[in-house]
Amino acid sequence: MPPTDLDLDRMRNEMLGYLREAGLPVFYGLGGPDEENFTFWDTRAYPDWRQFVDVAKESGSRLLVFSSSALDEADLDMALERLDEATIDADEGRQFQERIAGLRRKEGQAAWVRIAYEHEGRWFAYERIAPWYDEFRDMMEEINSYLPDVEEDEDNGPGFYSPN
């Protein structure tokens, strides 16, 4: 399946249905994409998540952890807030605003999904991230690079912006 055709909402629903039908208990976990401490399944060579579930079952796993998240309005509003705080020229700021506005059509769509299991002290995960969400995360890193440095202030705590 080409990356542009990746429908994580459909995949999420299929995964949960399959796991229920297989009689595997599902723990709904929190987290974020690309977390450390996982050995990730090679989704390029083996894109079918059912193969991953089969390996989990064959290894004796009786519990799978399911995590996912959708892009929401708060994510995009936060991007705009950070952009307002950024030290950036007007043209580049408008380009970021346009990119953020273009992502509004993705609100509510699954940004990433992950199923994982533990075996002999190691965590294994199948994870897919929507290409547009990778672009959003890259854009946020770029915007953050334009933010003023944050210093700790004894009276005010973290978050004090230094004009120096």
- Name the pLDDT band for 94 (thresholds 50, 70, 90): very high
Those residues with Cβ within 8 angstroms of residue 107's Cβ, 6 or more apart along the chain or in another chain: 70, 71, 72, 73, 76
Those residues with Cβ within 8 angstroms of residue 115's Cβ, 6 or more apart along the chain or in another chain: 15, 19, 49, 52, 53, 56, 64, 65, 66, 67, 125, 126
Q: Which pLDDT score, from 0 to 100, does residue 159 have? A: 47
In the chain, the percentage of residues whose pLDDT exceeds 70 is: 88
Q: Which pLDDT score, from 0 to 100, does residue 33 have? A: 87
Q: Which pLDDT score, from 0 to 100, does residue 151 have? A: 55
Separation between Cα atoms, residue 69 and residue 87, nearest integer Å: 30
Strand partners, 127: 114
Separation between Cα atoms, residue 126 and residue 49, nearest integer Å: 7
Strand partners, 150: 161
Separation between Cα atoms, residue 82 and residue 94, nearest integer Å: 13
Domain coordinates of the chain in residue numbers? Answer: 6-147
Q: Which pLDDT score, from 0 to 100, does residue 148 have? A: 85
- What single DSSP character describes residue 86? S
Separation between Cα atoms, residue 65 and residue 19, nearest integer Å: 11
pTM score, whole prediction: 0.81
pLDDT in tens, 26-73: 999 998 888 899 999 999 999 999 999 999 999 999 899 999 999 999
Q: Which pLDDT score, from 0 to 100, does residue 149 have? A: 77
pLDDT in tens, 108-141: 999 999 999 999 999 999 999 999 999 999 999 9
